[in-house]
Amino acid sequence: MNRKMKIAFGCYLAAIVIIASLALTYLFTPQLLSYQEQAVGVSWSQLQPGFKTQFLSLLKVSGGGYLSTAIALAILLFIPFKQNENWARIAIAALGSLAVLIVNYAGLTLMLNTPSRPPLIAGPITIALLIAGFILSSGIKKRKETKISETVGV
């Protein structure tokens, strides 16, 4: 792996770590996060047990989806990307960006419709890392072409 590919790998890995961190936050939080309480307009202690269960289950589903995305991206990064598969660089950037955009859309919806101020800085940083990884890895060659050129001696 050349220097550009190593930097691209690092960008992709940093983006995956951010996604996984957000996932773990949602999965293991024992109550609504402060910006979510602001959106609802009620503190956690004031919520009825049914609402608490509902909100926590939604947090777990969101965290689980985000963690699944991080795991899938890590598999793509550590197996096909490291094997110089061009489709992997496209898949990592596309799937990661889509997941982050969906979560940021939800955060923006809260921000625009409630007094809540969710921390949306991780989204643009993650997308910037994914785009940087995609651009830096643009020199990837298909494995089959590389093997054929090595066999022919080109």
State the average pLDDT over residues 81-95.
96
Residue with token string 């800085």: 121
Q: Could you tell me the pTM of the whole model?
A: 0.88
Residue 144 has pLDDT above 60, yes or no: no
Per residue in 5-55, pLDDT (tens digit) is 999 999 999 999 999 999 999 999 999 999 999 999 999 999 999 999 999
Q: How far apart are CA 127 and CA 138, in angstroms?
A: 17
- For residue 94, the model assigns a pLDDT of 98
Residues 51-72 as b or e (16 or more Cβ within 10 Å = b): eeeebeeebeebbeebbebbeb
Q: Where are the domains of the chain?
A: 3-152
3-state secondary structure of 41: coil
- How far apart (Å, rounded) are the C-alpha atoms in residues 101 and 112? 16
Check residue 1 and give its pLDDT: 85
Provide the 8-state DSSP code for 121.
T
Long-range CB pairs of 71-76 (<8 Å, 24+ gap) are 71/20, 73/12, 73/15, 73/16, 73/19, 74/16, 74/20
